[in-house]
Amino acid sequence: MGDFLNTDIKFLKGVGERRAKTLAAELDIRTFRDLLYYFPFRHVDRSRFYKIAELNPDMPLVQIVGRFISFQIEGEGAKRRLHGVFSDGSRLMECVWFSKVDALKDAYRTGVDYVIFGKPVLYRSIYSISHPEVSQYDPNKPALGFMGVYNISEKMRKGGYASRLFPALIKNITANPRFNNIPSVLPVEVRDRYRLMPLKEALVQMHSPENPDLLAKARERMKFEELFYLQLHILRFSRERGRKIQGLIFPVIGKYFNDYFFNCIPFELTGAQKRVLKEIRADMRTGRQMNRLLQGDVGSGKTMVGFMSMLMAIDNGFQAAMMAPTEILATQHYETISKWGSMIGLRVELLTGSVRAKKRREIDEGLRSGAIHILIGTHALIEDNVVFGNLGLVVIDEQHRFGVAQRAKMWKKGAVPPHVLVMTATPIPRTLAMTVYGDLDVSVIDELPPGRKPIETLLRYDENRMEVNRLIARELAAGRQIYIVYPLIQENEKLELKSVEEGQERIRNLFPEVEVCCVHGRMKPEEKDFQMEKFVSGKARILVATTVIEVGVNVPNASVMVIENAERFGLSQLHQLRGRVGRGSDKSYCILMTKYKTGADTKKRLSIMTETTDGFLISEADMKLRGPGDMEGTQQSGLAFELKVASLTSDGQILNIAREAAEKVLNAHPELVAGEVSPYDKTGEKIMLSPGSLNVVRRELHFRFSREVDWSLIS
C-alpha cells in the first residue's frame, strides 16, 4: 500500500506532465507523499469577511466583500499598473496589479459584488492590496472556512500557479479510497501513549482544517512526528559513538601552549575564551571523544580558541586540522594561524582544491611523517587520500555547512578518532542547541573582546545616497576600507551580475582615487581569491560583492559595511555581514540601504537591526518572522536537517516529549543502534514496539536520513 504514496505526482488529477515538472523543479515535490507533506506555512480565516474599517497593517490575508468603483491604468512600460478603487459600502481602499493589466481591466467590472482576498498594506493612510484574488460574491455559497496558504516560488507564481491550487490537488489524494490504507509513520505504541492524532486525519486537517482546535492537534502530531525521528536519529548516532568511540587522552599542557600563552599571544583572552578553553581541556583528557559545539557571536574570537585547542593536541604529540567552508576563509585562517604558529616554531600548511601536485606531495609527506603540525583547508581535508600520521583534533569552522556525515568522515582519520570542535556564529539558544544537536556538547563565548567600539547601524533610503557617499568619502580619507554588498539573486543570475557591475561602475566614478575590487558568485574561485586578496591586503580600499563574503572574512581596517537592497536579506544574514566591520578599534558603520517604498513589515524587520547587535535576539526574531516553512531559515539556524513543521524557538515542549519518546524506544530496542547491544538497554524507561512498529521505524529512519548519514563510516 506504500506504493500509493509513492505514486508519481504527474498521475494526480489536476497535475499532468508539465505541472509535475514544475513541482519537482521548484518545490522538490515528486510523489503523492511529497505533496501531502508540503504543508501550508499559515492558514487564513476565510470563514468571515472583514470591513475596511477593521483592517490593521499587521493582519495576514483577509477577505472583504464590496464593489469596484473605478479602474485606472497608470505608468509606462515596466511600471505600467492597474489601480482599482474598492468600496465595502462605508470605506474605500485600493487594489493594484502590475501584470496582465489590460486583461484584468476588461475582466473586472464596477458595480458587481466581489470578494477580494489578499494582504492589506497601509500606504499613505490608505489600505491597498496588490494582486488580490478576486472572485464573484455569492451569498448562497458556503464559507470557505480555514484555508492553507502555501509558499510558492516566484517562478511558479509567474507561471500561473496560485496557493489556492494546493488544497484542491491535495483533496484529489485524500479523497482516493486508497488513502484510507496508507501505512502508519509513527509506531502505534508511541502514538497511543502520547495521544496523538492519527496520520490520515492529521494530513487532512493540516491542509483544510475544520476548525482551529483540530488544526492545532494536527500540527502537534506532525511536529511530534518530525521531531521524534530527528531525535531518534541523533540519539542513535550519539549512543553509537558513546559506546564505540574512545577518545584520545591529552594529559599535559606543554611547551607550545605555554610558550604561546605566556610569550606570544597578542592580547589578553576574554573571560569567556578562558572558560571555554578550560571546558575543552577537560573534555580532551577524559578518554571519551570530544564533540563540542562552540558558539560565539561574530567577532567573539573563536579562531584563537580553536588555535589554542590545537596547541593542546600538539603538546601531546598529535597533529591538528582546521576545516573551513570556503577557500577564501580557509586561506584567511591559514594566514592568521601560520603567523601565530610560526612564533613558536610550528609548521602550518594549507590544503585546498587548488593546491598543485608538487606542493600536494610535500603536504602528504609532511602529514604522514608528522612534520606538519597543523593543516588548514576546505572540504578537501575529508577526502580519503588525505592521511595524517596522528591526527588528534579537528576544528570545524562555521558548522552549518557541514553535516553529521562529514564530521563522521573526519573521525575515520585515525585509529582512535580525533576530538572534534565545531565553531559557529549561528546563535541558537543554549538549551535548544543541546537538545537539537544531541550528540554535541555546547560551549558559548558570550563576551566580545574589550575595546570594540559599537557598530552604528543606519537605515537609509535611496534618496539619502549623497549622505552615505559623504560618509564613505570621510572614512576613505581616514584610511579605512569599505564593503558594499549586493544580494544574491538566485532566480536571476543575470540581474545579480548587472546590479554588482553597475554598483562597481558607480563606485569607481564616485571614488576614482582608490582601487575598487569586486567579488561575486559567478566568478571562478581563482579570480575570487585574487580579488579578495586585494582587499585583505589593503591594496583595494573598496570591495563590491555579493554575499560570498558573508562568513568569517576578517579585515580589521574595514569600517563601513553598506548593504544594498537590504530588504532582500534575512536578519541573520545581515547580522553576519555587519560582523565584518567593527573588528578594529575604530568606530564602524553598517548602512542598510532600501528603496524608499518598502512596506511596514520590512521597515519593522530592518529596524530590529538598528536596535540590537545581540545575535541571539536577532536570530530569534528572524526565526519568528520567517516562520517554520522557510528552508533558508532552518539552514541558517545551523541545523543539518530541514524542519518542515516544527520550529526551534516555539516548539521546545514538543521537542522534549519527542526526545523522551525516542529515548524510551531506544532503551527497549538497542538493535536500532547499529552494531552490538548497547549498554543503554538496561537503563531508563522503555517503550516496547511490536515487530510491525519496529519495521515502521526502520523504514522511516531510512527514508528520512539515509541520504544524510553513511553508517558504514563509523562502524
Identified binder of ligand ADP from the candidate list 19, 419, 534, 583, rule CB under 6 A:
583
Collect all residues with Cβ–Cβ distance below 8 Å to 114 and sequence separation of at least 6.
65, 66, 67, 68, 86, 108, 134, 135, 136, 137
Q: Under the criterion CB under 6 A, does residue 414 sit at the interface with ligand ADP?
A: no
Residues 546-565 that bind ligand ADP (CB under 6 A): 554, 556
What part of residues 290-309 is at the interface with ligand ADP (CB under 6 A)?
Answer: 296, 298-304
**Residue closest to ligand ADP, measured at CB:** 301
Instruction: Work out how close the CB of 413 gets to Mg ion at its nearest, in angstroms, rounded to a whole number.
Output: 23
Round to whole Å and give the CA distance between 310 and 256. 10
Binding map of ligand ADP across residues 439-458, x = CB under 6 A, - = no contact? ----------x---------
Mark the segment that binds Mg ion (CB under 5 A) among 48-56, 63-71, 405-413, 547-555. 547-555
Here the cell at position 572 is 541573520
Count residues binding ligand ADP (CB under 6 A): 18
Q: Given candidates 269, 625, 631, 674, which one binds ligand ADP under the rule CB under 6 A?
A: 269
Strands 391-397 and 133-136: unpaired
Distance, CA of 581 to CA of 556 (rounded, Å): 7
Q: Which residues contact 311 (CB under 8 A, 6 or more apart)?
A: 256, 257, 260
Q: How far is the CB of 149 from Mg ion (least distance, A)?
A: 38
Cα dihedral 398, 402, 403, 409 sign: negative
Q: Which is nearer to ligand ADP, 71 or 307 (CB)?
A: 307
The three three-digit cell numbers of residue 159, written as one number: 507561471
Determine the Cα–Cα distance for residues 233 and 240; give it in Å rounded to an integer: 11
| Beta carbons within 8 Å of 441's beta carbon, 6+ residues apart | 279, 283, 290, 291, 292, 293, 434
Q: At closest approach, how far in Å is the CB of 322 from Mg ion?
A: 11
Distance of CA 227 to the CA centre of its chain: 18
Give alpha helix (H) positions in 579-651. Answer: 600-611, 615-626, 631-636
3-state secondary structure of 90: coil
Answer for which of 31, 63, 273, 424 binds ligand ADP (CB under 6 A) is 273
Cell 515502521 -> residue: 696
Q: Does 619 bind ligand ADP (CB under 6 A)?
A: no
Minimum Å gap between C-beta 267 and ligand ADP is: 4
Q: CB 300 → Mg ion: shortest distance, Å?
A: 9
Residue 8 or 268 with smaller CB distance to ligand ADP: 268
552 binds Mg ion (CB under 5 A): yes
Residue of 36, 425, 532, 662 that binds ligand ADP (CB under 6 A): 425
Q: Is 270 in the site for ligand ADP (CB under 6 A)?
A: yes
Read off φ and ψ for residue 115, nearest 5 degrees. Answer: -105, 120
Which residue's Cβ has the minimum distance to Mg ion? Answer: 552
Nearest to 230 by CA among 439, 34, 37, 443: 439
Closer of 414 and 638 to ligand ADP (Cβ): 638
DSSP code at position 246: B
Name the residue nearer to ligand ADP (CB basis): 301 or 427.
301
Nearer to ligand ADP, 441 or 446 (CB): 446
The answer to whether 115 and 10 are in contact (CB under 8 A) is no
- Minimum Å distance from CB 493 to ligand ADP? 29
Give which of ligand ADP, Mg ion, none residue 556 binds (C-beta under 5 to 8 Å, depending on kind).
Answer: ligand ADP
Residue 583, contacted partner among Mg ion, ligand ADP, none, CB below 5-8 A by kind: ligand ADP
Summarize as ranges the residues that interact with Mg ion (CB under 5 A).
Answer: 552
Summarize as ranges the residues that interact with ligand ADP (CB under 6 A).
Answer: 267-270, 273, 296, 298-304, 425, 449, 554, 556, 583
